Structure 1
Amino acid sequence: MTSPYSNANPTAFVLLLCICCLPTYNTAANILGFFPEILDSQLFIHCRIADVLAGMGHNVTVIAPAPNPIIESRYHFTYVPLPHESVRPLPKLEIEDYNSLWNHMTVLRYHLEVSDAMLEEKIMRRWFVNAKTDDFDLLILSYQVNDFPIGIARLYNCPVILSTARVPTLDLHQLVGNPYELSYVPTEYWTIMQTQMEYMDIYTNIWKILWYQFFVLPVKEAEIKKYYCKHFSCAGKTLAESRKQIALIFTNHHFSQSLIRPNVPAIVEIGGIHISDYKVNLLPDLLRHINTAENGFIYINLGSSYNCSDVPTGLTNILYDYFTTNRMFVVWRWAYCIEPPTSPFIYYQTWLDQAALLSNPDLLAFITHGSQNSLTEGIHYNVKMLAITTTPEQMANAEYLAAQGAMLHLRDVEVVSPQMLHFSLYNLIHDPTFKQVAATLSEKYRDRPLTPRQTVLYWANYVLRYRGAVHLRSPAVDMHYFQRIGLDFVLVTLALLLAFYIAIAQVRKLFKPPPFTPKNQYDYIMAAPADMYKIDETKNYQIRPTSSDDTAGEETAGEDKAREAVEEDVAGPVMQPNRPRQRKNIQKNKRK
């Protein structure tokens, strides 16, 4: 039997096969990354996302107010330098001040000024003047407390992916309708608790979130809207309408690093995106310093601040004296403007490949300030860590890991002493429990269906494939907070119950018998209780109301009864009035 396809053209068959194998979306999409970040550590997270997408064939353009943190990047980078006078240093906030809800506005205004100064530059103005609707298919915007640059998506009519370098905050939950879960998820901004909450903690947590929702959030929204209307006319799309273009959020977090909480599909965890698969070779002098340490070395990274002159001198002096006195070899990432004190046991460098150091087998311990990036790398490489934190965000990051037994945590920098440092380091280095717990946590952290880079690539292509993926949008985004927590249902139910109670009361009044209306004095007396009337024996036993004379006579009633009892014993029983005749007189008087 001859096949029906025996006479088919082989060229047409190959062409049909090629058409069927084509991807559903052109992989060479035009993507814009707008990252108004000054700190290198946070800018590096967002640029790593852009580099992953550019490595898979997308045309990615990145705009930032700081130099490119990735030297051999595969995206197009546009550096927008900011005038020195336009960006002031962030004021130093003490722990007590940082816990204040209203002090959150100080951080907000600082980042608003950074984004505002960036958009005011001439290069950005020319960029927006020449913008065309079809220039970009996707906008990736770094989120730092504010999101008013989301108006850029209006120019290109494209979906938006927000990227944050930290754990999702209340602001981000608000944007995608993620539930707050007041009773078991601690508030991110104003608590350092990352363990199970007790009753009073839950009570405090609920009031803090309500205070933020109804007092802080309106003030914050007014500030963001002011800058939004300044750069993007509010006559067109409003800020709320522009936020509808948010497809999802990339968050630098993994569920194994904190308490479990529910997330909507628009929250995508990409914790560890900044960790490279390849290692950078260490500098020769640094490698020589590490090899000199026969018993291993300690790595210190206290982070970088918005103001490089803000040096915790008390802590740095304690660390320097301790390691110099005990002749311990240290590699220290020094990110401050002043010169550090020299020592043959301490190697200073402004920038270090942290992954190469943490993966070194000679590393004894890692002293960190508790940032999300540092803790993530420490977990990934199974390193024993000592966190010395200064802000509630850092404290919350370290608190959960310390509660799990994976690290040690010194909360207050001001009270750290050489004795505390010696005790912590000695236990951390010599107690094998920390290494075992850290190994278990590292295994949980690495065990994922997709790597962070694969996750970024999949979800970015997903948004491009479905042109914004509107079906990922939660209905809670368009609901008021009262509706999200079901308070409107409770109020309506209470109102209905109250209306039902009032209606029943009115119905009972309709069927209730009319009240007794007396026609004369004796009718009133007969309807009254027994203590309100009296039988008058002097007037044929007629009934009359009680009077003051009756109450006065009650005082001698006892004496009269006693005297009558004595007379009865002597003279025999006293003749009583005819009771039937008494009742007959009462009935006759009633008929009258």
Structure 2
Amino acid sequence: MIKYTTIVFLLILLLGTKTHSSNGDNILGIFGTHSPSHVIVHMAVMKTLADRGHNITVVTQMKPKLAAHENITVIVAPPTPERKKFMEEYMKQTFNDKPSIWTTLMKAVLQANVQLEGQIEFMVHPNFKELYENPQTKFDLVVLGPMANDFQLGIAAKLHCPVIITWVGVPLPFMDSIVGNVNDPSYVPSLNVALEAGQSTMEFTQRLGNLFKHSFLDIVNKLLNFKMNQMYERAFANKTDPEFPNYYEMKRRISLLFYNYHSPSEGPIRPTVPQSIEIGGIQVKDQPDPLPKELAKFLDDADEGVIFFSLGTNVNTNNFGPEIANILYSVLSQLPQRVVWKWEDLNNKPGNASNIYFSNWLPQDDILAHPKVRLFITHAGKGGVAEAQYHGVPMLALPIFGDQQGNAEIMTKSGFGRWLDMHTLTAEELEENIHEVLENPSYRETIGKFSTLYRDRPLTARQSVVYWTEYVLRHQGAYHLQSPLIHMDFIARNNIDVFGVILLIKRSKESYQCVIADINCV
């Protein structure tokens, strides 16, 4: 009897388990960014949906470093040779100049036409254009990765399907304005505003600086929107179809915003609307993949632990000057720990120390998950920092450009490690800080506590992506979740008309009282 009861129970369990749909929805991912690290985050979102059983088509400028998947079709619309050369020179100059995020943003504004032309070239590339111009093409959803390419929302209009935006970092004014998140500079930190550990509010000087940063980003956002509208009209001018939505209408048709952030652990708490969905750490695997045999043995046999050194996908170590390379090698080669070092040109390595494993491509998340890894030397890109936080690995940051210095400052003030300026780096300074992070247990304890918070959620990042994407698919959009703010103009959202009427009534009342009292009112 017990045997038959067990069999019945197993049958019920199997029948009740929801399996992947063999006829999943058709989802198009548009990721025109030139940053490989951004593509990694976007592809993690798409792979999650592919694992669920949806049919995924992805269009990018570069082939993603992702194993073949039966439900994912990748279409590469590569940049022209001239565009590729321009980007390589731009990144080389950026590495040498080490601009701040504000310099980077200002340069992006001044060079907006150059950047936007690259996005136009991507969109009209034959490999891509034949997809959305083909009347036989049917998609149920578009997922757009924003990078000065909001005008590409017109593709969703041509395909008659809802849109989800997937952003690679914290909510910025550019993202907040899309869904109407509250972005009050008195308590919502702007870009590169770092609070001390345990500090929940900004001090006066921080609020003053935050106000200026917020205002600057708001101006940049307005200029960008103006330019996006021009590009939209240029790309999708359709005089034969008066029903074709304009740029601002398409902005209001965005269903959800996914952003790579987890407010309960990363803080401070931000007031966000239901359209904003946190998927912080989406690129971190639930279970790490097995490492290549040679690399796995190198890590497994590291009795003194492992230091992982990678400056991400945008920094080419061939651009290192000999002085910087020599400083890094001289220190790392003398350590008792083993070092895994991402280095592009394997024919031109800085040395051949037995404790250093060089490779021009490394599975970063899988390495950080290895129990022997004790320190991550990083450029402080958002993706790498999130992976180290998830796995509880202390960091030493060598930020290069953009938001990396701000990320490094936040990481340092949170007690997860330290950061140094690579352009003024000395061997003594590097060695001292490596020993400090390795030997002071407070860094591992602090980031370990953060890791516990980062993992403790009602839904994992992947579960959130699946649930909310399918929510949009079920309801053919999620417009009922929208904040009223995005449907209001400047006058209405600031109640200027209401205050104007109140002042008018007040003034009229005062004038009437003057007339009754026969007083000359001015």
TM-score when normalising by structure 1: 0.75
Select the residue among 156, 167, 171 that pairs with 2:170.
Answer: 167
For 1:499 and 1:210, the matched residues in 2 are separated by: 36
Structure 2 counterpart of 1:39: 35
The alignment of Structure 1 onto Structure 2 pairs a total of residues equal to: 487
* Preserved CA contact (<8 Å) 1:86 1:117: no
Q: Which structure 2 residues correspond to residues 164-313 of structure 1 after superposition, within 5 A?
A: 164-188=167-191, 191-195=192-196, 196-213=201-218, 215-233=219-237, 235=239, 236-255=244-263, 256-291=265-300, 293-305=302-314, 309-311=318-320
* Preserved CA contact (<8 Å) 1:111 1:146: no
Aligned CA distance change for structure 1 residues 184 and 109 (closer, same or farther; 3 Å): farther
Select the residue among 404, 413, 419 that pairs with 2:414.
Answer: 404
- The offset of 1:142, in angstroms, is 0.9
Q: Would you say 1:54 and 2:50 are equivalent positions? A: yes
- The offset of 1:163, in angstroms, is 0.8
- The offset of 1:291, in angstroms, is 4.7
Structure 2 counterpart of 1:79: 76
Aligned CA distance change for structure 1 residues 40 and 400 (closer, same or farther; 3 Å): same
- The offset of 1:180, in angstroms, is 1.1
For 1:506 and 1:77, the matched residues in 2 are separated by: 77
For 2:360 and 2:504, the matched residues in 1 are separated by: 65
- The offset of 1:459, in angstroms, is 0.1
For 1:47 and 1:511, the matched residues in 2 are separated by: 73
For 1:303 and 1:490, the matched residues in 2 are separated by: 52
* Identity %, equivalent residues: 28
Q: Would you say 1:421 and 2:417 are equivalent positions? A: no
- The offset of 1:204, in angstroms, is 3.1
Q: Which has the larger radius of gyration?
A: 1
- Aligned-residue Cα RMSD (Å) equals 3.0
For 1:154 and 1:324, the matched residues in 2 are separated by: 56
- The offset of 1:38, in angstroms, is 2.9
Greater displacement, 275-284 / 295-304: 275-284
- The offset of 1:27, in angstroms, is 6.5
Gap regions ≥5 residues in structure 1: 1-20, 513-592
Q: Would you say 1:478 and 2:452 are equivalent positions? A: no
- The offset of 1:283, in angstroms, is 2.6
For 2:277 and 2:183, the matched residues in 1 are separated by: 17
Structure 2 counterpart of 1:148: 151
Give the secondary-structure state (helix, strand or coil) at the position aligned to 1:433: helix
For 2:330 and 2:484, the matched residues in 1 are separated by: 57
Give the secondary-structure state (helix, strand or coil) at the position aligned to 2:272: coil
* Preserved CA contact (<8 Å) 1:298 1:330: yes
Letter in 2 for 1:394: Q
- The offset of 1:369, in angstroms, is 1.0
- The offset of 1:228, in angstroms, is 1.6
For residues 107-143 of structure 1, give each alpha carbon's deviation from its aligned partner in whole angstroms, at most 9, with x where no partner exists.
75554233211122222232233134x7111101111
For 1:285 and 1:426, the matched residues in 2 are separated by: 27
Give the secondary-structure state (helix, strand or coil) at the position aligned to 2:348: coil
Give the secondary-structure state (helix, strand or coil) at the position aligned to 1:136: coil
* Preserved CA contact (<8 Å) 1:183 1:206: yes
For residues 369-396 of structure 1, give each alpha carbon's deviation from its aligned partner in whole angstroms, at most 9, with x where no partner exists.
1111111111111112112213351223
For residues 205-228 of structure 1, give each alpha carbon's deviation from its aligned partner in whole angstroms, at most 9, with x where no partner exists.
223333443x43343223222322
Q: Would you say 1:381 and 2:384 are equivalent positions? A: no
- The offset of 1:495, in angstroms, is 6.0
For 2:496 and 2:444, the matched residues in 1 are separated by: 47
For residues 436-485 of structure 1, give each alpha carbon's deviation from its aligned partner in whole angstroms, at most 9, with x where no partner exists.
11111000000011111111000001001111011011111122346445
* Preserved CA contact (<8 Å) 1:160 1:245: yes
Structure 1 counterpart of 2:343: 334
Q: Which structure 2 residues correspond to residues 505-544 of structure 1 after superposition, within 5 A?
A: 507-510=516-519
* Preserved CA contact (<8 Å) 2:408 2:419: yes
- The offset of 1:200, in angstroms, is 3.0
Q: Which structure 2 residues correspond to residues 495-574 of structure 1 after superposition, within 5 A?
A: 504=513, 507-510=516-519
For 2:275 and 2:345, the matched residues in 1 are separated by: 38
* Preserved CA contact (<8 Å) 1:225 1:239: yes
Letter in 2 for 1:200: T
- The offset of 1:80, in angstroms, is 2.0
For 1:110 and 1:274, the matched residues in 2 are separated by: 30
Greater displacement, 138-147 / 393-402: 393-402
For residues 129-188 of structure 1, give each alpha carbon's deviation from its aligned partner in whole angstroms, at most 9, with x where no partner exists.
3134x7111101111133111110111111000111122221111111111111011222
Greater displacement, 433-442 / 388-397: 388-397
For 2:335 and 2:249, the matched residues in 1 are separated by: 61
Runs of 4+ aligned residues of structure 1 deviating over 6 Å after TM superposition are: none
For 2:412 and 2:444, the matched residues in 1 are separated by: 13
Q: Which structure 2 residues correspond to residues 414-493 of structure 1 after superposition, within 5 A?
A: 414-481=423-490, 483-484=492-493
For 2:162 and 2:439, the matched residues in 1 are separated by: 52
For residues 267-311 of structure 1, give each alpha carbon's deviation from its aligned partner in whole angstroms, at most 9, with x where no partner exists.
111111111233333233323433554312211011122767543
For 1:484 and 1:38, the matched residues in 2 are separated by: 36
Aligned CA distance change for structure 1 residues 63 and 329 (closer, same or farther; 3 Å): same
- The offset of 1:414, in angstroms, is 2.1
Select the residue among 59, 66, 84 that pairs with 2:62.
Answer: 66
**Structure showing greater relative contact order (alpha-carbon pairs closer than 8 Å, 6 or more residues apart):** 2
* Preserved CA contact (<8 Å) 1:366 1:384: yes
Aligned CA distance change for structure 1 residues 491 and 347 (closer, same or farther; 3 Å): farther
Give the secondary-structure state (helix, strand or coil) at the position aligned to 2:165: strand
Aligned CA distance change for structure 1 residues 338 and 218 (closer, same or farther; 3 Å): farther
For 1:22 and 1:289, the matched residues in 2 are separated by: 41
Letter in 1 for 2:284: I
Q: Which structure 2 residues correspond to residues 336-355 of structure 1 after superposition, within 5 A?
A: 339-344=348-353, 345-355=355-365
For 2:99 and 2:364, the matched residues in 1 are separated by: 31
- The offset of 1:26, in angstroms, is 10
